[in-house]
Amino acid sequence: MPMQELGQSNKLPSPKGVALAIIEACRRDDVDISEVARLVQSDPAMSGRVLRLANSAAHAGRPLVSVREAILRLGLATVRQVTLGFSLVDQHLNGPCEEFDYPAFWSHSLLMALTAQELATRSRAGQPDELFVCGLLARIGCLGLATIYPSEYSHALRTARQGGASLPALERQLLHTDHNEVTAQLLGHYGIPLALAEPVCYHERPGESGFTEGSRPYQLLHLLFLARRVADLGLESPAQWSALTSELMLLGGKIGLDAGDLGEMIDRIVADWRDWSTLFRVPVRDLPPFEKMTKAPADARDDDSKAYSLRVLLVDDEPTNRVLLEGVLAHLGHQAHSAANGREALVMALDVLPQVVVTDWIMPVMDGIEFCRALRSTEWGQTMYVIMLTGVETDEKLIEAFEAGVDDYVTKPINVRALKARLRAATHYVNLLEAWERDRARLTQFAAELAVTNRKLEHSALTDTLTRLPNRRAGMKALAAAWSAADRGGQPLTAMVIDVDRFKSINDTYGHAVGDQVLIEVSAAIRRAARTDDHVSRMGGEEFLVVCRNADSQPVLVAAERMRQTVRSLEIQHGGKSIGVTVSIGIAGRETAIPDVDALVIAADRALYAAKDAGRDRVCITTGGQSICPSDGPQL
């Protein structure tokens, strides 16, 4: 069914009853909180869920017992969205699609919702309650397809479980759409803002989103991706926990969570999941603590599946023995490569890189002992499992073989059962070795990505989130470094302190969103007008610091006047009106009366206050303990 026809279907999951009345009431501009509270209180289950959400860890404050207070704390927009989610859960705890596990779907969705809420609280990437709803409805398209096409979707789910193809590919093949497209349509139908709906729709395939790295959609997308992988713990078998927890530690490292913090967070979320499950009437798995999941053993069936896929190098000068052994190995499903002596085997080993070597002892050209020593002397041959075929079992000979690097032996004439037993031991060794190499590769990747994350976190810690300028910490660090350089080289150093005039009035008149826009444009104007080597930072609020290396007062006065005029020329549009902005600038240079960095900033502040007192929109300088405001700025 095409998407436009799907949108016209009256079977799509939609709110009903009390939930629909609450949603419609919340959409009205003239609605009264008391009216919404009465509607919520008419449904005891809904009341409990709203109170539970309002009292969650995302809302610091005293515990609430009043539904009205809970609505005030959450806000009408959040109440509308969570009511929608709760209603859909209640209506679709079972359904006509035989292969669709409705309780497991909602259990997974609930765990994802709680994780998204917790991650939003930690990262401040979005409103925690909105992200709770996004997590709850992130895969609502699956429910939509199961509701409208129960028979066809059962077939798609069954085929996907059997490894026939990915679920979205099967959905497109059978239904000409997939659950991500249906999720996008349903979220739009439910009134979820596009800024939230877009990251939700790409959370299963973040690489296809095209979002700019560091942007809010990008942050929400990766938050939801991590939330989903945490929720997958509730579905995966214990054999998959080790691999999944390793992935989670890697993803957690990208947002600054070490393994301990991540484990504590997930354990807390799982505890909340159990509590919420009673309100939703959905089952939850009894998950162990995160630390235990990291140590869960891999599925034993994985070892069995690999037991018949070894690359084996046979080394024997007797053609009849090679034919016999090749037959045994072929019967067991192994790949056999044969050589007639040790020298030939060395050349072949480098080409084939066998996992197991089965070699005779007594051979012409190069015997088994020499071959084994040569093999072990190479880097690539040190991890191969070597089984020696020998007709001698004296202690001295066996010691010689083991000292040469042999791992095990089989006596001649060859007992096939004994050889099979040795190959099982070799298989176990190879599987352990491969697991170790995977873990090492994963740790290497983790270390590399953690280093990148640490650099990004360090940059973030020194960057103002609004203007993207260096923040106060970075500005003071740059000033201290410039002071030390000036001390060593005897160079001049000057600092400017810049303040946006009447900024509080702008905020009060036009609102904080416009105030933020003013700061963004002013910071960009200052950066454009600054000299190439100047370091511009936001000190907080509407105040900026400019560190001018190797510059005395005259060129800095010229640069400051250029900044003042650049800001004055800005025209910030709002509601069809143009908002004018000016700045006052205070300057101070390094001199005998200024002993350190703090004194330099205080002197520049003193000049700034003089500029304010003189009528704002001007440049003043402190020199020789006096603050001077030239009547006219320098000529540019």
Tell me the mean pLDDT in the region 422-441: 85
Q: Return the closest-CA partner of residue 140 out of 99, 192, 96, 98.
A: 192
Report pLDDT for 306: 43
pLDDT of residue 297: 66
Read off the pLDDT of each residue in 622-628 and give the average, rounded to a whole number.
Answer: 89
| Numbered ranges of CATH 3.40.50.2300 in the chain | 304-433
Cβ–Cβ contacts within 10 Å for residue 2, how many?
9
pLDDT digits (tens, 9 = 90+) for 538-585: 999 999 999 999 999 899 999 999 999 999 999 888 878 889 999 999
CA pair distance 378, 395, nearest whole angstrom? 27
Say if strands 583-589 and 493-500 run parallel, antiparallel, or are unpaired.
Answer: antiparallel
Say if CB 205 and CB 139 are below 8 A apart. Answer: no
pLDDT of residue 303: 43
Helices (H) and strands (E) in the chain, counts: 28, 13
pTM: 0.53
Given a cut of 80, whether residue 633 has pLDDT beyond it is no
Residue 453 pLDDT greater than 80, yes or no: no
Peptide bond into 283 cis (omega under 30): no
pLDDT in tens, 393-431: 788 888 898 999 999 998 887 777 888 888 888 888 888
Q: How far apart are CA 298 and CA 309, in angstroms?
A: 18
Give all strands of the β-sheet with 385-390 in edge-to-edge order: 335-339, 311-315, 356-360, 385-390, 408-411
Average pLDDT, stretch 266-279?
89
Mean pLDDT of 280-299: 81
Q: Phi first, then psi: what are they for 413, rounded to 5°?
A: -60, 150
> CATH fold of 304-433, please?
Rossmann fold (3.40.50)
Q: What pLDDT score does 244 carry?
A: 84
Intervals of CATH 1.10.3210.10 along the chain = 3-294
Residues 6+ apart with CB under 8 A from 38: none
- The helix (H) or strand (E) run that includes residue 494 is strand 493-500
pLDDT given for residue 242 in this prediction: 79
572: β partners: 579
DSSP one-letter string for 295-314: TPPPPHHHHHHHTT--EEEE
Give the DSSP letter of residue 287.
P
Other beta carbons within 10 Å of 433: 14
What tens digit of pLDDT does each residue of 506-518 get?
Answer: 988 888 889 999 9
Render 157-221 in DSSP notation, one character per residue: HHHHHTTSS-HHHHHHHHHSS-HHHHHHHHHHHHT--HHHHHHHHTTT-GGGS-PPTTSHHHHHH
Residue with the two structure tokens 């799509």: 12
Share of the chain above pLDDT 90, in %: 34
Compute the distance between CA of residue 54 and CA of residue 571 in angstroms, rounded to an integer.
Answer: 42
459, pLDDT greater than 80: no
Mean pLDDT of the chain: 85
Domain with CATH 3.30.70.270 in the chain: 472-628
Residues 222-270: tens digit of each pLDDT: 899 999 999 999 888 888 887 788 788 878 877 777 778 888 999 999 9
What whole-number distance in Å separates Cα of residue 562 and Cα of residue 570? 13
CATH superfamily of 472-628: Reverse transcriptase/Diguanylate cyclase domain (3.30.70.270)
Any idea what DSSP says for residue 614?
A: T
Establish how many alpha carbons lie within 13 A of residue 305's alpha carbon, considering only the half-sphere containing its beta carbon. 5
The answer on pLDDT for 635 being more than 50 is no
Residue that has been written with the tokens 């989903």 in this structure:
228
499 backbone dihedrals φ, ψ, rounded to 5°: -130, 135
Instruction: Please give the structure tokens belonging to residue 148.
Output: 């409208």
**Residue 386 host element (H or E):** strand 385-390
Q: Which two tokens stand for residue 414?
A: 């060859």
**CATH number for the domain whose boundaries are 3-294:** 1.10.3210.10
The two tokens of residue 177 are 């759409």
Tokens 């080993």 appear where? Answer: 349
* The amino acid at 307: A
